[in-house]
Structures are given as C-alpha cells and as structure tokens.
Amino acid sequence: MTDQPAPPPAPAPLRAAIVPVTPLQQNCTLIWCTATMKAAVVDPGGDLPRIKAAAAQAGVTIEKILLTHGHIDHAGEAKPLADELGVPIEGPHEADRFWLARLDEDGRNYGVRGVPFEPDRWLDDGDTVTIGDLTLDVYLTPGHTPGHVIFHHAPSKFAQVGDVLFQGSVGRTDFPLGSFDDLVRSVTTRLWPLGDVTFIPGHGPASTFAHERRTNPFVGDAALARG
C-alpha cells in the first residue's frame, strides 16, 4: 500500500485587501468570494483609480458597494464608482441619511470629492448582504454615527467594522449625532458576543475582538470595570 499525497488545502472562502484612500488614510476594503471571484468594495471614500487597480490585481469583479457609514472618507466617492461600474450601493442604515446628504459640503471642507446620494438599499440590524456565494450578517452599531453598521462573516471569523473600533482605540463621537454611550453599547452588545473575530477597522491596522476586549483603553473589560 502506497501513501497517497495529501490534497492541497481548500482556499479560504473569503479574502480581503485593504486599499488606503483619501488624505485621512481610510481603510477602503476589497472583500471577495474565492469561489466566484465576485467582490464588494467597502467604503470607497476616494482614490477610485487605486481601488480599481487593486481589484484588477486580485482578479476580481466588483458586484456591489457596501457602506459602514456616511462620513466623507468612507462614502465620498461611492456614487461615482457605482455609476461607473453599474453596481448597487448597500448601506448604511437610514439614520445616516443626514451624512450622505452633506457629502459635497464635507468634501469641500476636507479638500476631497464628495457626491451626495441615497443608496439602492438601506441596511438594518439583522439584515444580510451577499458577495458572490458569501453571506455576511449586518449589525447596527450606532455611536460614531447613528446609522453605522458592521459586516460579519461568521464562517471566516471576520468582520469589517468601519469606525466603531480600532486597534487600541474607538471611533470619535464628537461629530453631530455621535454618542459615546451608544458606541460603548454597540461594542459590548454587538461586537464582543461574536467571539474572537479578526476585524479590519476604518483606519489603522487589523486586530481581533479578543485582543481589544483584553487591552482596549476605552472599551476593554478592565476599562469599563473602572468606569
């Protein structure tokens, strides 16, 4: 009896690549299904040539745009990209309509392009979105903005969390309609119950929920116990 070679490992069903955009170095994220090579662009705030080049390098076809929230660095050029590619925009929650309506004003203030729009689909807590054969769960996570959402793929233990949580920090809550209490509630009741998930934030390096729960000076267990 001869030994049979082990089969090669199956590719992960989900892959993601960060594409930093705008002067604020926002983590626009390309997420794709490895079975179909269909992709979503999460939070295309600007620098569209860079985003399209990343998609071409990965060999994927962009089928939709997903938005975590309506701030200029995340949503400023979502509409132009959607129009160019002929794809829909899904998200954020309708409570961020205020932010999407003022993208042109905010763009002038930050020296970047901002095009107001309404998405093809508003998202709510408990919804799902698809990317190729993948299904991601949507959680409403207000605090940074009232209509902020995150996207979670449970089989991959992966989430894209926008500006709710960062490595060692959290999103600002001093913008209009922000709330630190709501942000803490979103993290502790929506993110932490998901377990040891690897996440890509809206800015900075990736981390895990478990690491942030142990060490984050704003929403970690020790920090909240002191509070």
Q: Residue 186: what are its φ and ψ, rounded to 5°?
A: -60, -45
State the pLDDT at residue 145: 98
Q: Which residues contact 53 (CB under 8 A, 6 or more apart)?
A: none
CATH number of 14-225: 3.60.15.10
- pLDDT given for residue 4 in this prediction: 60
Domain ranges of the chain: 14-225
165-186 pLDDT, tens digit each: 999 999 999 999 999 999 999 9
Give me the amino acid identity at 159.
Answer: A
Q: What is the pLDDT of residues 78-90, one digit of tens each?
A: 999 999 999 999 9
Contact 211, 217 (CB under 8 A): no
Report d(CA 42, CA 67) in Å as an integer: 6
User: According to the model, what pLDDT value does residue 37 have?
Assistant: 98
Residue ranges of E strands in 34-180: 38-42, 61-66, 89-90, 128-131, 134-140, 149-153, 158-162, 165-166, 169-170
Q: Amino acid identity of 49?
A: P
Judge if the upstream peptide bond of residue 92 is cis by omega within 30 degrees of 0: yes
Closest CA to 25 of 45, 4, 1: 45
Instruction: Compute the 3-state secondary structure of the chain and give helix, strand, coil in percent, each to the nearest 5.
Output: 30, 25, 40
Residue 225 — pLDDT band, cuts 50, 70, 90? very high
Q: Sorting pLDDT into bands at 50, 70 and 90, what band is 2?
A: very low
pLDDT band at 120 (very low <50, low <70, confident <90, very high): very high
The mean pLDDT value for 141-151 works out to 98
Distance of alpha carbon 15 from alpha carbon 24, whole angstroms: 24
Mean pLDDT of the chain: 95
Using the predicted structure, report yes or no on whether residue 6 has a pLDDT greater than 70.
no
Please state, as a whole number, how many other Cβ atoms lie within 10 Å of the Cβ of residue 150.
25
